[in-house]
Structure 1
């Protein structure tokens, strides 16, 4: 395999090394090639939305079921456990799956299989370590909250492993496999929730929710035909420490701020206030399915756009953020003006009366966060880990400060509006960093790279139930290379196509050696 040495190559997909670009006169894609690219992107995005719809709908129904089965205080305990799980999940993603999606997107060849074994092993190790800590902390705390944390510790390895399979599938454009895997989890949840409802304890619901993920984790291994490699944990972290540690801090700062806000809100206004905020978040949950579904595919798509035409990256990020914000506003209007209060009472029970007051600020908060996530996708695609980290740290501090200051002034309602202001400021910082990061990236490209606008051909989806092949990638479709001028790489491309050697895009040919990171001052290490 060719070494991936440049920043653009690190964030690109393996498709750039294995799939010949179509030869188009003047180096620009035709209308048919553009429409083919749009259809291919729409297909991948649709699987991301479908998978996240299943995942978020499942989470929504679990939250509703627990809210109706427990009182407000017990639901607040469940919410604290849920937020804690979110922090640990982001630790796993920062060290395991985020580097995988950045550096190993493309076709499911041997390189991807090796990387998935290591990243899933990393998730399993982190789940076991975090689970042990959760059990110890739960035993020390005692009571209902302590028992809930013990339950989380028991099921955490399965939860993190199942999540790692989802990202592995999306890294190679196989969102249909993640979709099926989440359907399996949803089906396994049904008997677990029914059994837990007979005990009416928070820990019982936690065990049912997390325990059912073990079924999906086993199915994920069968789909990928890959076993996790926990022994490769240190190797994986070492190979990707230039990205992993920064993504770890970035992810944990975001989820950690949410957790600290929940803890602070509980200390200031009581556990019932935490349940109130969680209830409002459940109301906005169907839209969050769209937001999170796009996040699964936004970084790989942004990396593809960056590789083909860097100047279009800000447009993609703006469209991404604007579309999410518009969808959030429409869903908020549905909640305010269309949905009867009786439905809210049915789903949330006693939590509805207070949670309904938070619909407007929660909707505004998600709209602001949409622009932040749009810029964040661009920063990830650029491989600008330091700029991305800076933006997320500032956003996390603002989120925590705004949430706690608002809680001190007006309880759950004040906390929600404090978060709105914080998200607006955080989005501004993220776009500022994206502008500077793209300027740095364009400054390191030659004129040919800046004008590059090639479009790789789309490939049909594999059947959702077909296991991922155990051999290398599918053969690249044939293409007839056109002769080019010396230095433009066309002659080299023809030779590579004739011999079956992997093609190296223009950016990779210009910069196949270690390149210093203009932000951190340290070289960015390539992955094999």
Structure 2
């Protein structure tokens, strides 16, 4: 919040009207109304992520039940590759859009969206061609999986970029509608394949890509902004400082996931990769909740930083606490009811191997939630060097320990316990970095209410977002 400073009269003298005006400006938006707005923003984020995750859950469950564990492993490798490309794409395309162009639908915003979606479409075309070439060189079901993924990548990235374009302009309901349309089309297509006994690795991934692309085209029609490939070069140049940093962070995580899956596949086989994907499906609702909250965590943390920097750590902890409670409830349900037939109903023959991974998976889920709370605070402080260094260090530790676990046991279970141990280490690092960053911020800028702010009785704060 930015409040216009009043004129100071006679040295330390400040008019009563100025004091009242500044106090009202500072506290405007606080209280129940502001809390409702925050809850609404979080609600739309969770709802949108929920629709997206539900679609992935339906896809994963239907494929797991229809395919053998080996074929399901091929699907899991392709799906992990999709996640890697999606994460990498957001670095140069949608992340800079959210940071620099969030706001009303001005002419500048429209041009930025045209460039951003054009950038995403370009990356989709390039990555799609790459997947096609890789698929043609792979054997068996892996070939089918990557060829289908290559066909769908342009549409997938187009739709994802429009989700964030809608979020950036405060039209979260349109992002929700886009994912809802994608989910309905995808479910209809998959059920049709099941009815005609035509659900294969190729057809399942192709339906996923095509239906998501159709939702992307619908988003273009609703937004009335055509992706402009001619603006891609200028977009990348203008957002180079942000895009490069976000790309490195996103790639480090995406590379880890891809290498971890590939390593486990080589050591323990494709069935082990399928078991990991099955366990991830069972914890999908928890990660959906976390991802939904994370979509709005940084801007909300920044508001806390502007008002009361010394309360930032408490706020970040508050982000994580309710999610931990939900995780505990989900764990009770998973361990009490899933083994009694529900797991086999969801995952078919892949259930038995996936069930062994649930304990370390719950540890990973808890550490991820706690880490994301701290990450929101570090990003709100604009501590990009700390963020990148911590992300790269944690990624290296996660890969080392998960690989060590796989080599030592020859199973996905050993790999995931290594991953869980790395998660505890990483979460500790993130919270230590947050504490150090907050201490540095307070030492440099002081607590709110210094100087004119103290005389007025208001919190002036200091802008802390990344630019």
TM-score, normalised by the number of residues in structure 2: 0.89
Which of these residues, 134, 139, 142, is aligned with residue 137 of structure 1?
A: 134
Q: Give 1:271 shift.
A: 0.6
| Equivalent in the alignment of 2:9 | none
Deviation string, structure 1 residues 480-517 (Cα, Å, up to 9, x no partner): xxxx99x99x9xxxxxxxxxxxxxx9857xx9xxxxx9
For the structure 1 residues 67 and 337, does the alpha-carbon distance in structure 2 shift closer, same or farther, using more than 3 Å as the test? same
Distance in 1 (alpha carbons) for counterparts of 2:443 and 2:222: 42
For the structure 1 residues 423 and 347, does the alpha-carbon distance in structure 2 shift closer, same or farther, using more than 3 Å as the test? same
Give the ranges of 4+ consecutive aligned residues of structure 1 lying more than 4 Å apart after TM superposition: 15-18, 505-508
Q: Name the SS for the 2:27 alignment partner.
A: coil
Q: Name the SS for the 1:304 alignment partner.
A: helix
| Equivalent in the alignment of 1:405 | 404
Once the two structures are superposed, the pairs formed by residues 64-463 of structure 1 within 5 Å of their partners are 64-197=61-194, 198-339=197-338, 341-410=340-409, 411-445=411-445, 450-451=448-449
Deviates further, 330-339 or 248-257: 330-339
Deviates further, 42-51 or 213-222: 213-222
Q: Establish whether residue 56 from structure 1 lines up as the match of residue 77 from structure 2.
A: no
| Equivalent in the alignment of 1:12 | none
Q: Give 1:62 shift.
A: 0.5
- Asked if structure 1 preserves the Cα contact closer than 8 Å seen for 2:309 and 2:461, the reply is no
Q: Give 1:300 shift.
A: 2.3
- Asked if structure 2 preserves the Cα contact closer than 8 Å seen for 1:364 and 1:420, the reply is yes
Deviation string, structure 1 residues 134-156 (Cα, Å, up to 9, x no partner): 11111122432122111111110
- Asked if structure 2 preserves the Cα contact closer than 8 Å seen for 1:105 and 1:300, the reply is no
Q: Which has the higher helix share?
A: 2
Deviation string, structure 1 residues 301-333 (Cα, Å, up to 9, x no partner): 223333333333222211112332332222111
Distance in 1 (alpha carbons) for counterparts of 2:174 and 2:201: 31
Deviation string, structure 1 residues 248-269 (Cα, Å, up to 9, x no partner): 1111111211111111011111
Unaligned runs of at least 5 residues, structure 1:
1-14, 453-483, 491-504, 512-516, 518-523
Deviates further, 240-249 or 64-73: 240-249
Distance in 2 (alpha carbons) for counterparts of 1:75 and 1:247: 32
Q: Name the SS for the 1:95 alignment partner.
A: coil
| Equivalent in the alignment of 1:502 | none
RMSD of Structure 2 on Structure 1 (CA): 2.7
- Asked if structure 2 preserves the Cα contact closer than 8 Å seen for 1:246 and 1:386, the reply is no
**Structure ranking higher on relative contact order (CA contacts 8 Å, 6+ apart):** 1
Deviation string, structure 1 residues 271-323 (Cα, Å, up to 9, x no partner): 10111111111111111110111121112222333333333322221111233
Distance in 1 (alpha carbons) for counterparts of 2:261 and 2:3: 45
For the structure 1 residues 245 and 116, does the alpha-carbon distance in structure 2 shift closer, same or farther, using more than 3 Å as the test? same
Q: Give 1:200 shift.
A: 3.6
| Equivalent in the alignment of 1:498 | none
| Equivalent in the alignment of 1:29 | 27
Q: Give 1:231 shift.
A: 1.7
Q: Give 1:26 shift.
A: 7.7
Q: Give 1:86 shift.
A: 0.8
Q: Give 1:28 shift.
A: 4.9
For the structure 1 residues 506 and 258, does the alpha-carbon distance in structure 2 shift closer, same or farther, using more than 3 Å as the test? closer
For the structure 1 residues 443 and 352, does the alpha-carbon distance in structure 2 shift closer, same or farther, using more than 3 Å as the test? same
Distance in 1 (alpha carbons) for counterparts of 2:168 and 2:184: 25
For the structure 1 residues 178 and 451, does the alpha-carbon distance in structure 2 shift closer, same or farther, using more than 3 Å as the test? farther
- Asked if structure 1 preserves the Cα contact closer than 8 Å seen for 2:115 and 2:235, the reply is yes
- Asked if structure 2 preserves the Cα contact closer than 8 Å seen for 1:192 and 1:208, the reply is yes
| Equivalent in the alignment of 1:459 | none
Q: How many residues align?
A: 446
Q: Give 1:183 shift.
A: 0.7
Distance in 2 (alpha carbons) for counterparts of 1:97 and 1:24: 36
Distance in 2 (alpha carbons) for counterparts of 1:295 and 1:17: 28
Distance in 1 (alpha carbons) for counterparts of 2:387 and 2:320: 16
- Asked if structure 2 preserves the Cα contact closer than 8 Å seen for 1:52 and 1:292, the reply is yes
Unaligned runs of at least 5 residues, structure 2:
5-19
- Asked if structure 1 preserves the Cα contact closer than 8 Å seen for 2:48 and 2:175, the reply is yes
Q: Give 1:355 shift.
A: 1.0
Distance in 1 (alpha carbons) for counterparts of 2:441 and 2:233: 31
- Asked if structure 1 preserves the Cα contact closer than 8 Å seen for 2:377 and 2:434, the reply is yes
Distance in 1 (alpha carbons) for counterparts of 2:21 and 2:114: 36
Q: Name the SS for the 1:33 alignment partner.
A: coil
Q: Name the SS for the 1:38 alignment partner.
A: helix
